Amino acid sequence: DGGITQSPKYLFRKEGQNVTLSCEQNLNHDAMYWYRQDPGQGLRLIYYSQIVNDFQKGDIAEGYSVSREKKESFPLTVTSAQKNPTAFYLCASRDPGRGQETQYFGPGTRLLVL
């Protein structure tokens, strides 16, 4: 099946700990995105990557880092500098053949701070 997978579904972080959220796609899409969603709110863009080895900060990049070493993978690290990391994290990739911004989303990872 083609699609976007995110793991784990739930993740617990201790104070001062870095954690990495996985995002993998087998859709052969060039562009990938990370969003954060807080309860009752819309999605906010953290980082995006239009091509391998390139990525750009979104609206709320502070306290986060990413890498894009492979086309299929776009992991997000939530660092200890992110003081309020509890949220629902969504990864997406873009299908260039269906319009400028037709994005396909993974199932999300819910991060909780202990």
User: Can you give the binding site for other proteins, defined by CB under 8 A?
Assistant: 4, 31, 33, 35, 40-45, 48, 50, 56, 58, 88, 90, 92, 98-108, 110
Residue 30 per-residue DSSP state: S
3-state secondary structure 59-103: CCCCCEEECCCECCECCEEECCCCCCCCEEEEEEEECCECECCCE
16 vs 99, beta carbon nearer other proteins: 99
30 vs 72, beta carbon nearer other proteins: 30
Alpha carbon distance 11, 95 (integer Å): 28
> Residue 45 CB, nearest distance to other proteins (Å)?
5
17 vs 41, beta carbon nearer other proteins: 41
